[in-house]
Amino acid sequence: MRINWRNPKFLKSAFSEGDFIKSKFPVFTFCGRSNVGKSSLLNMLMLNRKMAKISSTPGKTISINYFLVDGKIILADLPGYGYAKRLKKEIDRWKLLMESFFTGQEGIKENFILIDARRGLAELDLIMVDWLKSLHQEFSFVFTKTDKMKIQEALKGARDVKAVFGKEVILTSAKKGIGRKELTNHIEKKI
């Protein structure tokens, strides 16, 4: 199904399970470590630099932010994980929100785990993979910030991830627009 990516609309922010969207549309989530570039990637996809709020402060997003694109799909920007300066009660609230989301959100079609290509998979990313597998959730990997490294290094990292998980990795750079077509095509094939 073709999507007009230039037609996004912010729907709402969810701070608790009661705020989750009851959707007839397929939901695609974007998760990853704090400061991995989730909001920047979403803005690149939606061709709107101001749609998803971007912060230079890691751990700033504390809600799930929903965007309806072309009246056909929902993109969910999830709060980042792994920000060490959070208070314990904030970390516990994040865990509860994520557990509720992945078990209670209707219509999740696929989860994109975003990885900073310069850093590679971290322990917390592997925990997220195991968690999604245990919930029988579909997931794919997206490398971000590939413009900040040599392409050969990014490709090697992608091959390493594919060797372990048997999944292709989509290479992206929100700054340069790299990988946008590959990611939009991937999503459009899923609906």
pLDDT in tens, 30-79: 999 988 999 999 999 999 988 887 765 655 567 899 999 999 999 999 98
The type of residue at 159 is R
* Each residue's pLDDT tens digit, 153-168: 999 999 999 999 999 9
DSSP state of 80: P
- Number of Cβ within a 10 Å radius of residue 174: 23
DSSP state of 76: E
Distance from chain centroid for Cα 75: 9
Mean pLDDT, residues 103-109: 92
Could you tell me the pTM of the whole model? 0.92
The structural domains of the chain, ordered by start, are 8-190 (3.40.50.300)
Confidence of residue 86 (pLDDT cuts 50, 70, 90): low
CA angle 91, 93, 99 (to 5 degrees): 100
pLDDT at 148 over 90: yes
